Amino acid sequence: MMTKCVGVSAEFVVEYEENQWEPGRWKELKRVPGNQATAELALFGNLRYQFRVYAVNAIGPGTPSEPSERHSTDPTVPDRNPENIQIHGNIPYQMEISWSPLLLTESNGPGIEYKVSYRRLEVEDAWTEQLVQRPLYVVKGTPAFTPYEIKVHARNSFGWGPEPKVVTGYSGEDTPSAAPQDVAVEVINTTAVRVSWTQVPAATVRGHLQGYEVQWVRTRNFLDREKTLNEKRSESFPGNRSHAIVAGLKPYSEYKLTVRVVNKKGKGPMSDPVTFTTPEGAPGLLPTLTASDCRADSMLLVWGPPLETNGILFGYHLQYHLLNESTQEVIDSQEMNITGADITQWRLTGLNSGSRYRIHLRACTKASCGPPQSKEGETLPTLSKIEDPSDASTTGWIIGTMCALALLVIVALIFFCLMKKKGGKYAVKEKEDLHCDTESQGMMDECSEKKQQKDCTFFPLDDNSVFNYTEEDDDDAFNEDGSFIGEYSDPNRRKGSYESLDIPRFKHTAI
């Protein structure tokens, strides 16, 4: 048997093939250094071998050599025992033992079989044995979850293999048989309690301990004492422990609590129930809050009561903050209590006009107040609140102008009424004395006197004045009723002129 090598060989690989169980299949048997030309091989009995060798260097493996001649080994006892022994306790009161069997090439001879030996750990001295050919054996009638020592010994027609190793396993699990004792509950706050208990004996667990399960039932809400509840919840706590913290409870309620052991098979019996109550807590968030009907110094707040009161609701806590218009920072803060569970609106008074407020409202019980519901609102401005001096002067000018216009309208109306009253038909004598009567003469004298004081202003009369009529006109100038309308109908009949009369006329000046 020769192999051709090119370059320096890092190592040689020896392969074998046997023609009894796996003919034609080459398997690696041993590797030797590249500077070694011989190898000592460990072979199984009762087989016919042939060998080949190939070299391996930095580039890769070379071509294998030609196979050697067949070499037969003598049958002998097994030189090893089964491995990967496992113990399963899936079914209570029995134990399943399994292992990986020897390969056909590893049996060293015909008639391979196995002896299974077992005994209770630290209880029994004698081994119970059973000879089997399959790689599985089930032990029945065992105590629940009891530790055992197990070993599996291989043998063939030529004898027993070496002494096997001992492994430890447990029989099948069953649900725990005992309940925790001395269960106690300590209330931490409105939603959490601390639960403690005495651990159960290990023998009563009857399986791999997974932990403890705490179950609690809400039986009553003190806000509706007549109604019976059955709200169940539970939580598992891993490991071998004696206490746990239970959270997520409802305030102002009555509960019943139990504890039990849990293993892989299931849950044990419950402990005696313990009754406890949770105190009142803070109410929940208000669902709605609105600010409406805003006035210069007040606004109306309207809200909805909390969906979860968590106790007896007695009122609300109100906070309101005056904000800076530009930076929205808080300038001033006020707070007050609103007593009454049925109140759902409140008029907030004493506010600054034209200002923005941030409002926080909380529902309260005797325990505490809940989270705040927030809203912002703005009061209406007033005319007296003017910050810019130019706005004040503009507003004053507008007001003065409006007042002056109103006064002018009133004077014009009065003047119009007076002129209308004096503008009707006049009854005169057939030959009217064109001189002013005593009253008119007095008025003209008075006006003449004022004229000297420059308080009166004269102006020429128009053509329609009554003073255009003189005594030189004949009687035909009048109508039958004594009026002088006919005179106006024919302008050619007017012969006189107001210039011939020394009668002053006044120019009326509107005030």
User: Residue 440: pLDDT band by 50, 70, 90 thresholds?
Assistant: very low
What pLDDT does 394 receive? Answer: 64
How far is the C-alpha of 160 from the C-alpha of 117, rounded, in Å? Answer: 14
What pLDDT does 384 receive? Answer: 57
Which of 3-12, 85-94, 364-373 has the lowest average pLDDT?
3-12
**pLDDT reading at 172 higher than 50:** yes
What pLDDT does 427 receive? Answer: 46
Intra-chain end-to-end CA distance of the chain, in Å: 148
SS3 content of the chain, % helix, strand, coil (to 5): 15, 35, 50
What pLDDT does 423 receive? Answer: 60
Between 1 and 250, the higher pLDDT residue: 250
What pLDDT does 337 receive? Answer: 96
What pLDDT does 421 receive? Answer: 74
- For 181-277, CATH gives 2.60.40.10
Which of 140-149, 259-268, 397-406, 417-426 has the lowest average pLDDT?
417-426
**pLDDT reading at 332 higher than 60:** yes
User: What whole-number percentage of the chain has pLDDT above 70?
Assistant: 78
- Second-level CATH architecture of 11-72: Sandwich (2.60)
> What mean pLDDT do residues 161-181 have?
95
pLDDT tens digits along 178-233: 999 999 999 999 999 999 999 999 999 999 999 999 999 999 999 998 888 999 99
Q: Could you tell me the two tokens for 102?
A: 């020897």
Contact 3, 65 (CB under 8 A): yes
- One-letter amino acid at 148 equals Y
Supply the DSSP string of 294-310, one letter for each residue: --SS-EEEEE---S--S
Between 317 and 480, the higher pLDDT residue: 317
> What mean pLDDT do residues 463-475 have?
41
3-state secondary structure 218-270: EEEEHHHCCCEEEEEEEEEEECCCCEEEECCCCCCEEEEEEEEEEECCCECCC
CATH 2.60.40.10 fits 289-378, yes or no: yes
How far is the C-alpha of 64 from the C-alpha of 88, rounded, in Å? Answer: 47
**pLDDT reading at 478 higher than 50:** no
How far is the C-alpha of 346 from the C-alpha of 303, rounded, in Å? Answer: 9
pLDDT tens digits along 61-88: 999 999 999 999 999 999 999 999 999 9
Q: Name the residue ranges covered by the structural domains of the chain.
A: 11-72, 83-170, 181-277, 289-378, 438-500
What pLDDT does 364 receive? Answer: 97
What pLDDT does 156 receive? Answer: 96
What pLDDT does 395 receive? Answer: 62
- For 83-170, CATH gives 2.60.40.10
Tell me, what DSSP letter sits at residue 485?
A: H
Supply the DSSP string of 29-62, one letter for each residue: EEEEETT---------SS-EEEEEEEEE-SS-B-
**pLDDT reading at 459 higher than 90:** no
Instruction: List the beta bridge partners of residue 233.
Output: 216
**93 phi and psi angles, rounded to 5 deg:** 65, 25
What pLDDT does 397 receive? Answer: 76
Tell me the HSE value of 418 on the side-chain side, using a 13 A CA sphere: 7
Edge-to-edge order in the sheet of strand 274-277: 228-238, 209-221, 253-263, 274-277
The reply to whether domains 83-170 and 289-378 share a CATH topology is: yes
What mean pLDDT value characterizes the chain? 83
What pLDDT does 460 receive? Answer: 40
Q: Would residue 340 be called left, alpha or beta, if left means φ above 0 and alpha means ψ between -120 and 50 degrees?
A: left
User: What whole-number percentage of the chain has pLDDT above 90?
Assistant: 67
